[in-house]
A and B are shown apart, each in its own frame.
Chain A
């Protein structure tokens, strides 16, 4: 880059070129959206199956229901290790995802602990609500419209769950996982966001 006769007009061109460069960078969020969307969908789908067909609920099914979390955790860890090696930049958006989904995990974790301590059933309807809110918020902050729309659909699932049986709540939670995570994740991949 030569600095001879650098005019204000040239500076605008330099700024525009740099902004285009950074705009074209994408986050790895789409991988986690798809992975956790599938894991959570599987978790709730299995819970639906075992509550709808009690004769299928054995130790293998119960193990499978909870096995999705360590598998998801392990795959996420391996992917983050791989990305750390290749990554040469950090995007502003990454903080939005970290705080958004970090808040979701803390909120759901506290509710889970509270139900364990008080020996009560975990209110499943809170799952699509919290997930929908998180996806809606992160979609708004990153200006990704499919996430905003899918987040609203997730919140609508909560509305439907209010008067539903526990079985239907599991089915709706599985559907919310697909709509709020897998679909936006796949669209992010297509749009290279």
Chain B
């Protein structure tokens, strides 16, 4: 009935991140933190794992004087999610 889950996505938090990003063009770190209801440290760790797997692209920039981390799902991430 179900395909074998991708080991990278086989955790609730990483799957939640990818599921949120698939419905959006881009999301900031604060948005993901609020919606996944997790700590900044844990979210940062999971985002790094997804980034290393090539499932998301992370860009760092500034909004006024404040640093902003923006995440986008990649083509590879979309393919992995659709499986």
Q: Which residues of A contact B (CB under 8 A)?
A: 1-3, 6, 8, 10-11, 14-15, 17-19, 21-23, 25, 84-85, 88-92, 94-95
Contact = CB atoms under 8 A, between A and B. Distances in A.
Contacts, number: 72
Given A1-B36, A8-B5, A91 B24 contact: yes
A3 B11 contact: yes
The 9 closest A-B pairs by CB, nearest first: A22-B23, A18-B19, A88-B31, A8-B2, A90-B25, A88-B28, A1-B12, A3-B11, A90-B26
B30 A88 contact: yes
B5 A14 contact: no
Contacts of B31: 88-89
**Which of B1, B5, B10, B23 counts the most A-chain CB atoms under 10 A from its CB?**
B23
Interface residues of B, number: 27
- B-side interface mostly: mixed
Interface of B: 1-2, 5, 9-13, 15-16, 19-20, 22-28, 30-31, 35-38, 63-64
6 contacts: A1-B36, A18-B22, A88-B30, A92-B23, A94-B25, A95-B25
Contacts of B19: 14-15, 17-19
